[in-house]
Amino acid sequence: MRKNKIKTFDVINTIILCALMLICVYPFIYVIFASFSEPWELTMHRGLLLRPLGFTLEGYKAVFANRQIWSGYFTTLFNLVVGTTINIFLTLLAAYGISRKDLMLRKPLTIMIVFTMFFNSGIIPRFLVVQKLGLFDTRMAMILPTAINVFNLVIMRTAIEGIPSELEEAALLDGANHFTILFKIITPLIKSTLAVLVLYYGVTHWNQWYQALMYVQSRELYPLQLVLREILIGSSTEAMTSGAVDSLGDSFMLGEVIKYATIIVATVPILTIYPMLQKHFVKGVMVGAVKG
């Protein structure tokens, strides 16, 4: 009797989890199928898609012909590389500094950093400062105002504090200076934490759009997500369909397919990288959780 009950539970559990997985991935499957479908057939279709309806690359052609998408990709890549480098560099400096136990100003400096987690000035004063600094509508406006994430700093500090202090003391006795200790001794020892933080900062830059919305005006500086917002939410596929089709109806139908193709073009990089890096991401959560 009890055996049976447990078996039933296993079956129900498996069903629930399978259903959940389906809900998690089906939207993407639907979008993939829709992006290859003939616009007309897709418009007429009702219900779930179990395969592409016909096959066409029209949507993708329009997406790849769109200069905004390319310039968005470029900006995002720029933010990703330059931004993450700055993030990691500054976070490393900060974490090393406030993990020095013999630093007299360690406590006030730490409080100064932590205080920003509890109170923030709000977006208006920050906007006015960014404007005053002449950063408004520049690439750096998307990078500098969020150069250090305090949560990530906590993770890095925890990693540095986990290194036995004898190592540093020995190096100091050997006459090494702090720059050498930080970059030659500490950095190689916390490589795995660094990798996790590169991923975290990287994903933030990849997904970032609100900061760009506030601080950037020129369309050629828009990062990918802001371009996507225009195309997908402001539904400006009209510009991409014009010239490709004659009638308004055709343009509407093609617009739908372009939307789906855009979603795929914008998510494929992350979908391909994610399974390879999943382990590191998860590890980061653990590091953060251990600290609490």
Partner 1 sequence: MALKKRKVQAVGPPRNSLGGRLRREWHHNKQVYIILLPVVAYFIIFHYIPMLGVQIAFRDYSIAGGIWGSKWVGLKHFKNYFHSYYFGRLIKNTVLLSVFNILLSFPAPIILALLINEVRNAKFKRIVQTVTYLPHFISIVIVCALLRDFFSSTGLINQLLGTNIDFFNKEEWFRPLYILSGIWQEVGWGSIVYLSAITSIDNSLYEAAEADGANRFDKLIHVTLPGIATTISVMFILRVGRVMTVGADKVLLMYNESIYTTADIISTFVYRQGLLNRDYSYTAAVDLVNSLVNCVILVGANKISKKISGSGLW
Q: What distance in Å separates the CA atoms of residue 87 and residue 202, rounded to the nearest whole number? A: 9
Q: Is 17 in the site for partner 1 (CB under 8 A)?
A: yes
> Closest CB to partner 1 among 119 and 246?
119
Among the listed ranges 50-58, 62-70, 122-130, 240-248, the one in contact with partner 1 (CB under 8 A) is 122-130
Q: Is 94 in the site for partner 1 (CB under 8 A)?
A: yes
Q: Residue 10: is it exposed, middle or buried by C-beta count within 10 angstroms (0-12/13-18/19+)?
A: exposed
Q: Are 238 and 251 in contact (CB under 8 A)?
A: yes
Identified binder of partner 1 from the candidate list 16, 57, 170, 239, rule CB under 8 A? 16
Q: What distance in Å separates the CA atoms of residue 109 and residue 115, rounded to the nearest whole number? A: 10
Query: Which residue is listed with tokens 């049976």?
Result: 4
Q: Is 228 in the site for partner 1 (CB under 8 A)?
A: yes
Pattern 180-209, binding to partner 1, x per CB under 8 A? --x--------------------x--xx-x
Q: What distance in Å separates the CA atoms of residue 62 and residue 252, rounded to the nearest whole number? A: 13
Q: What distance in Å separates the CA atoms of residue 112 and residue 117, rounded to the nearest whole number? A: 10
Q: Is 68 in the site for partner 1 (CB under 8 A)?
A: no
Cα separations in angstroms, 34 against 113, 159, 290: 48, 46, 43
**Residue 143, token pair as written in the block:** 């990078």
Q: Is 113 in the site for partner 1 (CB under 8 A)?
A: yes
Q: Is 275 in the site for partner 1 (CB under 8 A)?
A: yes
Among the listed ranges 50-58, 89-97, 162-170, 243-251, the one in contact with partner 1 (CB under 8 A) is 89-97
Q: Are 153 and 91 in contact (CB under 8 A)?
A: yes
Q: Is 266 in the site for partner 1 (CB under 8 A)?
A: yes
Q: Is 239 in the site for partner 1 (CB under 8 A)?
A: no
Q: What distance in Å separates the CA atoms of residue 212 and residue 137, rounded to the nearest whole number? A: 9
SS (H, E, C) 252-275: HHHHHHHHHHHHHHHHHHHHHHHH
Q: How far is the CB of 55 from partner 1 (least distance, A)?
A: 21
Among the listed ranges 56-64, 142-150, 189-197, 236-244, the one in contact with partner 1 (CB under 8 A) is 142-150
Q: Is 65 in the site for partner 1 (CB under 8 A)?
A: no
Q: What distance in Å separates the CA atoms of residue 229 and residue 234, rounded to the nearest whole number? A: 6
Among the listed ranges 64-72, 77-85, 221-229, 243-251, the one in contact with partner 1 (CB under 8 A) is 221-229
Q: Is 274 in the site for partner 1 (CB under 8 A)?
A: yes
Identified binder of partner 1 from the candidate list 81, 117, 167, 239, rule CB under 8 A? 117
